[in-house]
């Protein structure tokens, strides 16, 4: 942050007035312990059902201070949270992810790929798998695209890529040939940021969820 060319690099001070106190608390905990608690697995039993919002805010904070290691931990925690709660990003989560990150952010990539995967490849009723209880898929999809212009653009571009990939493939197996797979079941490393020579999978689910 202090060598990035932003205003903080000139003043050598940083202001976090717009950041949630919970976010900064999680950041301080990570600084001292190199982990987050409760882990995503335990948070399912003890925490609120919108903990994904906390992880999204933490990820944005990590990008803001240029701390890739924290961003990777937040990303793995977020995806693990969806895994343990059997939920997927909803309107609030997707909109927030786009609101607090910059273009080409891995978090944006995750959100738009989840949306595209569910629209293109999910079978049967999507209201039970893509949305939280009580929400309907079609209105939610429309609201997402109407509420977040950048997400709508990324979604359309990705759908065009999917259509092109599926058109080039023969027979079945379009999803595999596309090479994406369910974004919430793929390896964590695909949505991580690594420095030169850094070990891959250092921020795997096992490490974030109590393995280190």
> Which residue did the predictor score with more confidence, 21 or 127?
21
What pLDDT score was predicted for residue 39? 67
| % of the chain beyond a pLDDT of 90 | 25
Q: What is the pLDDT of residues 106-138, one digit of tens each?
A: 999 999 998 888 777 664 444 334 444 444 455
pLDDT (mean) for 43-59: 79
What pLDDT score was predicted for residue 162? 76
**Residue 47: band (very low, low, confident or very high) from pLDDT cuts 50, 70, 90:** low
- Phi, psi values for residue 55, rounded to 5°: -65, -35
**Residue 50: band (very low, low, confident or very high) from pLDDT cuts 50, 70, 90:** confident
What pLDDT score was predicted for residue 129? 41
Asked if residue 122 lies in contact with residue 129, where contact means CB atoms within 8 angstroms, the answer is yes
Averaged confidence pLDDT in the chain: 74
* pTM of the predicted model as reported, rounded to 2 decimal places: 0.76
| % of the chain beyond a pLDDT of 70 | 60
Q: What is the pLDDT of residues 153-172, one digit of tens each?
A: 998 898 888 777 766 554 45
Is the predicted pLDDT of residue 55 greater than 90, yes or no? yes
């Amino acid at each position: 942050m202090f060598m990035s060319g932003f205003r903080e690099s000139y003043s050598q001070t940083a202001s976090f007035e717009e950041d949630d106190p919970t976010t900064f608390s999680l950041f301080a905990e990570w600084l001292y312990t190199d982990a987050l608690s409760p882990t995503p697995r335990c948070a399912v039993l003890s925490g609120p059902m919108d903990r994904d919002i906390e992880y999204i805010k933490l990820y944005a904070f990590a990008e803001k201070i240029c701390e890739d290691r924290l961003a990777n931990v937040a990303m793995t925690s977020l995806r693990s949270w969806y895994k343990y709660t059997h939920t997927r990003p909803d309107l609030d989560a997707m909109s927030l992810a786009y609101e607090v990150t910059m273009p080409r952010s891995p978090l944006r990539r995750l959100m738009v790929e989840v949306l595209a995967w569910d629209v293109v490849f999910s079978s049967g009723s999507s209201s039970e798998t893509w949305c939280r209880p009580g929400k309907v898929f079609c209105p939610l999809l429309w609201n997402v695209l109407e509420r977040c212009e950048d997400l709508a653009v990324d979604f359309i571009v990705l759908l065009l890529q999917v259509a092109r990939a599926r058109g080039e493939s023969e027979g079945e197996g379009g999803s595999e040939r596309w090479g994406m797979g369910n974004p919430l079941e793929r390896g964590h490393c695909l949505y991580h940021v690594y420095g030169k020579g850094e070990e891959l999978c250092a921020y795997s689910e096992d490490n974030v969820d109590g393995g280190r």
